[in-house]
Amino acid sequence: MTTHDDRYKWVALSNTTLGMLIATINSSIVLISLPAIFNGVGLNPLQPGNVGYLLWMLMGYMLVTAVLVVTLGRLGDIYGRVRIYNLGFAIFAATSIILSLDPFTGGKGALWLIGWRVVQAIGGAMLMANSAAIITDAFPAKQRGMALGINIVAAIAGSFIGLVLGGVLAEWNWRSIFWVNVPIGVVGTIWAFKSLRDNGVRRPGRIDWWGNLTFAAGLTALLAAITYGIQPYGGHSMGWTNPWIIAGLGGGALLLLAFGIIEAKVAEPMFPLHLFRIAAFSGGNAASLLGSIARGGLQFMLIIWLQGIWLPLHGYNYEDTPLWAGIYLLPLTVGFLAAGPLSGFLSDKFGARLFAAGGLLLMSASFAALLLVPTNFHYGVFAVLVFLNGFGGGLFSAPNTNLIMSSVPAHLRGVASGMRATFQNAGMVLSIGIFFSLMVAGLSDSLPSTLDAGLTAQGVPPAAAHTIATLPPVGTLFAAFLGYNPIQELLGPQVLGNLPAANAATLTDHQFFPNLIATPFHDGLVIVFWLAIIMGILGALASLIRAKKVPAPAADLVTREEELLDELGVQPLSPVPAAAEPSVRE
């Protein structure tokens, strides 16, 4: 039964916002701390055999959350959203303690972290799947945009806050990036158990096991294959000809096709396909997926741009660049924080669609402007553009979530929240494979010859220079991403020791590698940002999709009555199964 209690709704918003914040901070805090983590467990992530550890540390958490949020949202609809949410908080806090106590080194130490991060991702998925549904249950329709805006922007901002926090903590001790979650997780868990209550419509139901299995296996195979496609294979700079990757792509697609057939036939599907008949739901999720891919690609590319080129050119040591990259990206976070609650409040008053579409168009415009910025940019110009990008993302997120969540009947809000999170999280994982592949494709044309000429000009023997120049560009990208000096790593003391001191100093200086890679990197950046522009425009068009005005059938009259009662804080005695067009202003 939904009651819009004034005090309780703010408690629900505060706790779920804390839950979303800690879940998303945890994703990016590891991203920026990877050099410290690998040093801590005694692994060089740039050695070929260790790339797998690096990729799974990078994408494992996001992959698991993308796969499980729908299932956990459905479980929330059946057994209670608050119950599943509370369990997620407890799992998250417990695994934070276990992760910080990693007793191993080398490959075993990395596997310990990867394995427990997967378990932690289950807790994070429980939080993500049910937080928006709990808020939607607690707030009347006229305030949902504002409430969801605060919650969703906190979640997105968390991914950028984690960059700064991880950089600071990793400087002290790599285990501290897990310690920081423990007090927040414990307090949040106790608070959630004591204060949250299930106000939503709950329906007994059965678990769609075949649907869950085919969806989990299919999405995992597809996303993992796309991510592994960036690794070199058989003399190629990428792995798209690898039989295992081809099998993953094909097998994943077939399993997802089977999943769709199963969901159309079972009585109680985990993924109610009939929800896609609702214009706001289908258009909103399409926009969320496209926006998430564009935003994820931006995050990775800006980190590489700052850590691999701009910061070293401005005198920063390579080992310090992860921290300062997070600091210099603060305008992006500020943009999200400034626009999110504001757009939620305004969309409640003036309609959600134009704010959602306008936010993505502003993001696309900022991507276009970044194309005009030189690789060694003036920071003031860069800061304004990334602020506008973040502001556009903040304008989009709250109205988009409001449109999606308010478009579905009350008893399906948990699964709808999970479906929304699936599209968003899958977009982040897809962005790794898509944008790294595009960047590698752009680098492959010009980087080898640039490296060869630059190294031989400093006296590096032609054979050694050629060997380094023909290495897969993804290694250079990972080096820049992790804050390593790739020239020093690749040449090693043997080659550098045989060169004149002046030449060796030039090769390992802050300026040499950034100047060498600047032009090839910009070639790849043009391809990446053009795709982001196109995705933003398509996402804006998807946000504007609305249902045709047709006379409401008799079955919809019951649903409309449910919406009116919901706005008044009253629920009918029995849940109503019919889908509804949104009661939120569009």
In contact, 347 and 585? CB cutoff 8 Å: yes
Query: Is pLDDT above 80 for 311?
Result: yes
Last residue of a domain, one of 223, 240, 269: 269
Q: What is the count of structural domains for the chain?
A: 3
Residues 423 and 490 in one domain: no
Q: Cα–Cα distance between 421 and 159 in angstroms, integer?
A: 15
Residues 171 and 245 in one domain: no
**Residue range(s) defining the domain that contains residue 465:** 443-520
Closest CA to 86 of 175, 194, 178, 161: 194
**What does the CA dihedral 236, 240, 244, 250 come to, rounded to 10 degrees?**
-160
Assigned domain for 583 exists: no
Contacts of 560 (CB under 8 A, 6+ apart): 552, 580
Residues 468 and 325 in one domain: no
Give the number of residues written for the chain. 586
Assigned domain for 582 exists: no
Residues 331 and 239 in one domain: no
Structure tokens at 331: 């305008």
Residues 58 and 133 in one domain: yes
Residues 424 and 352 in one domain: yes
Residues 140 and 198 in one domain: yes
Structure tokens at 12: 């629900």
Greater confidence (427 vs 579) lies with: 427
**Residue 465's pLDDT is what?**
86
> What stretches of 229-320 show up as alpha helix (H) in DSSP?
243-265, 279-305, 311-313
Last residue of a domain, one of 225, 242, 269: 269
Residues 345 and 405 in one domain: yes
Q: What is the mean pLDDT of the chain?
A: 80
Q: Cα–Cα distance between 124 and 122 in angstroms, integer?
A: 5
Structure tokens at 237: 């700079």
Residues 456 and 477 in one domain: yes
Contacts of 191 (CB under 8 A, 6+ apart): 15, 18
Q: For the segment 28-52, what is each residue's pLDDT rounded down to a tens digit?
A: 788 777 778 888 888 876 676 677 7
Assigned domain for 578 exists: no
Q: For the segment 250-294, what is each residue's pLDDT rounded down to a tens digit?
A: 999 999 899 889 988 888 787 788 888 888 889 889 999 998 888
Contacts of 285 (CB under 8 A, 6+ apart): 404, 419, 420, 423
> What stretches of 139-180 show up as alpha helix (H) in DSSP?
141-172, 176-179
How much helix, strand and coil, in percent to the nearest 5, is found in the chain?
80, 0, 20
Residues 545 and 450 in one domain: no
Greater confidence (316 vs 473) lies with: 316
Q: Cα–Cα distance between 131 and 393 in angstroms, integer?
A: 20
Tell me the pTM.
0.77
Residues 328 and 231 in one domain: no
Assigned domain for 256 exists: yes
Assigned domain for 542 exists: yes
